[in-house]
Structure 1
């Protein structure tokens, strides 16, 4: 079983060529919804600024070029729009999390920019097809990557261990991990690639651990970078056997690409 601890570098928000409603379109998927929810150790330090103010968030041409082509060194180097956006440090931070969420460990994207080489490492592998020849990031891919990125936001830009769980084969947990991370924080879902980002979260019933993302006491979420809808029991389908939520609804869309976070 995959059971690794990694350090996630801060990064930012995205945009996409698919409208939010497309997130439910039928296409080949890599996850197995019949299996138990799975998990992976990871860390989080994605900052609010990186989520909302990246050049890859504001430049629709760059976003379209990123999601419409393979997530590979050659494809990125061949796109003047993406390369121009990556001169923004927040965009490079953003791409760090995109690659980390989408690509598996051992795969990376290397970009040479103004005489400096930047390497964006794979980690979780939620959408490995994006990194293959002729790959692209379809609606399902965008949903998984978005949920993973939202789950790694930290209000203070600090890194602490979390367990990511969801209905995707890349999220593989064993009993030891579940025992080490027993406290359910909440679930994250949305579409960071949409013209207007969808950024949703819900709390595990009775939990205030979501202050990791929102700051404060975790109860007052009015100014949170994500839209905290309330309790996950009211906005998601029944949880899987390990307690992870799926099919959460927000903004008029039901999103099966949901990541549930557990804490130590």
Structure 2
């Protein structure tokens, strides 16, 4: 971890809290369930806080020993974007992708999470971050009803759809992405509004 990143996660106050929350998402996406990331920081009262963030999906388990490669950064970025939820409520999702860790959902998961929400891709590690999302048009109302709106946009009273911070919605996945894989149902490739393609795409499914 760079010196700047370490300063960010050990900073007291709201900026540090935001950085630590983001790090929790990054760790859960990058590291496997057998791995964790530990560090400590001190608040304004000089009280020591010990943190331990558990891995989960294992999209870049080698991050424990070496910096993230460009490809792994893109996978972790797609994962973090896919797990963002402005509504502030916990929503179970099924994440599917060409990545070996997400390629083959088991049968019960595929049956329980049968509604494609949308897809996410981009790069969280650029300045500013460049993250993208698209939605499965027939399932927009289902997504919003469950409190998920980073793929669809939050519907405002005047009828406009407001985007989640740092996640740009490019439209329908059927227009922005390749057809879903027959094997896992994921989108193998999506493009941003400039037509730039990405293969590091995570497709999310909801009940």
Shared fold (TM-score greater than 0.5)? yes
Residue of 188, 196, 203 corresponding to 1:246: 188
- Residues 63-97 of structure 1 show CA distances to partners (whole Å, capped at 9, x for unaligned) of xxx3xxxxxxxxxxxx5423321121110111100
Q: Which SS does the other structure have where 1:161 is aligned?
A: coil
Q: 1:251–1:196: structure 2 CA closer, same or farther, 3 Å change rule?
A: farther
The answer on 1:258 being equivalent to 2:191 is no
Q: What is aligned with 2:161? A: 221
- Residues 17-65 of structure 1 show CA distances to partners (whole Å, capped at 9, x for unaligned) of xxxxxxxxxxxxxxxxxxxxxxxxxxxxxxxxxxxxxxxxxxxxxxxxx
The answer on 1:237 being equivalent to 2:178 is yes
Q: What is aligned with 2:121? A: 189
Q: Which runs of 5+ in 2 are unaligned?
A: 43-47
* Alignment length (residue pairs): 184
**TM-score normalised by L of structure 1:** 0.65
Q: Which SS does the other structure have where 1:173 is aligned?
A: coil
- Residues 146-176 of structure 1 show CA distances to partners (whole Å, capped at 9, x for unaligned) of 1101111111211111000001111141111
The answer on 1:139 being equivalent to 2:70 is yes
Q: Distance in 2 between matches of 1:204 and 1:223?
A: 16
Q: Distance in 2 between matches of 1:204 and 1:80?
A: 40
The answer on 1:206 being equivalent to 2:146 is no
1:186 touches 1:201 (CA, 8 Å); kept in 2? yes
Q: Which runs of 5+ in 1 are unaligned?
A: 1-65, 67-78
How far off is 1:138 after superposition? Answer: 1.4
Q: Which SS does the other structure have where 2:86 is aligned?
A: coil
The answer on 1:167 being equivalent to 2:95 is no
Q: Distance in 2 between matches of 1:112 and 1:124?
A: 24
Q: Which SS does the other structure have where 1:194 is aligned?
A: coil
Q: Which SS does the other structure have where 2:175 is aligned?
A: helix
Q: For CA contacts below 8 A with separation 6 or more, give which structure has more relative contact order.
A: 1
How far off is 1:125 after superposition? Answer: 0.4
Q: Distance in 2 between matches of 1:223 and 1:231?
A: 14
Q: 1:80–1:243: structure 2 CA closer, same or farther, 3 Å change rule?
A: closer
Q: Distance in 2 between matches of 1:83 and 1:149?
A: 19
- Residues 171-226 of structure 1 show CA distances to partners (whole Å, capped at 9, x for unaligned) of 14111110011111000111111112112111113221453123337x84244432
Q: 1:99–1:182: structure 2 CA closer, same or farther, 3 Å change rule?
A: same
Q: What is the RMSD of the two structures over their aligned residues, measured on CA atoms?
A: 1.8
Q: What is aligned with 1:152? A: 83
Residue of 106, 112, 127 corresponding to 2:60: 127
Q: What is aligned with 1:177? A: 109
Q: Distance in 1 between matches of 2:116 and 2:78?
A: 16
How far off is 1:129 after superposition? Answer: 1.7
